[in-house]
Amino acid sequence: MTIRGLHHVTAFTESLDRNLAFYRDLLGLRLVKQTVAADDPYAHHLYYGNGTGAPGTIVTFSPWSDRDETDQRATGEVTAVGFVVPPQSHGYWVDRLGAHGVETARRERFGQPVLSFTDPDGLSVDLVAVDGGDEPWTGGSVPTTEAVRGLFGVTVAVEDPETTARFVEDSLGYALDGTDDGRLRYRSVGRVGAVLDVVRREASGPAPVGPGQVHHVAFRVGSAAEQAELGEAISALGTNVSPVVDRQYFRSLYFREPGGCAFELATDDPGFAVDEDPADLGRELMLPAWLEDRREDVEAHLSPFPVERGTADAD
């Protein structure tokens, strides 16, 4: 059984205001869901994606105030998140990001043009200018001709890339697509979020938890039955696999690959329109059914949500 690419990537942010300004207003992604963190109903959890919040287009963030200021090089962590943008769009993005004080660097990997920069929390972001991807969000501040078209992939840094590589081949069905300057590129059959790059990093400790850090990477499975079958196969390799957890918009199970990165298998269904009209995604705070009777208490403890900026005219 083969994974169909990424479902979403979840990270931490120090400031919801800056996070919204960057991912919604600058990168032009749609805020598809305001809800609360699965393990802390008093903390926001924001989901960004394309117009429908399709699997493979989603990045999510929860607040985390404690920043690790050490210079320790960590292993078992996601070091970059990549998005697909149209070919020849890098000039637009250099100008747009530069106008907002974001420094960019152009490079080439595997013969593909990559524009790299960091978000306000220090998370590395790559815009990969290639054909493909999913339908972009057309209601944001970025012209459709230049807009982000979903996830391209992620880069993971581990001490033993070969062991991690064997794991993603044997358990997730990824296939080696090539090597470039020590970087191993693995690819799934998915239309979006198909790339998993593995790089070597000698480190003195595990990945920290805090702003700018990715908490986990979720991979797409088409059904609960497929999820169960994959979970059993991963468990048979000697990896601890969590029970299935209902996350309202998908069902999840979690595990760590041998290098220490936290992975998830997430179902496509039921999706983000299960509790909101598709036209109204992201406009109101949505709570899981088991928290609705505590809504007043939850809202009283949540930090103030940044004032809605709306969608600026395309520039």
- CATH number, domain 6-301, options 3.10.180.10, 3.20.10.10, 3.30.1180.10, 2.90.10.10: 3.10.180.10
Full pLDDT tens readout for the chain, 315 residues: 678 899 999 999 999 999 999 999 999 999 999 999 988 999 999 999 999 999 999 999 999 876 655 555 567 899 999 999 999 999 999 999 999 999 999 999 999 999 999 999 999 999 999 999 999 999 999 999 999 999 999 999 999 999 999 999 999 999 999 999 999 999 998 889 999 999 998 866 666 778 999 999 999 998 999 999 999 999 998 999 999 999 999 999 999 999 999 999 999 999 999 999 999 999 999 999 999 999 999 999 998 877 554 443 334
What is the DSSP secondary-structure string of 228-284?
A: HHHHHHHHHTT---PPPEE-SSSEEEEEE-TTS-EEEEEES-S-GGGSS-GGGTTSS
Q: Where are the domains of the chain?
A: 6-301
Please give the Cα distance from 17 to 14 (Å, whole number).
Answer: 9
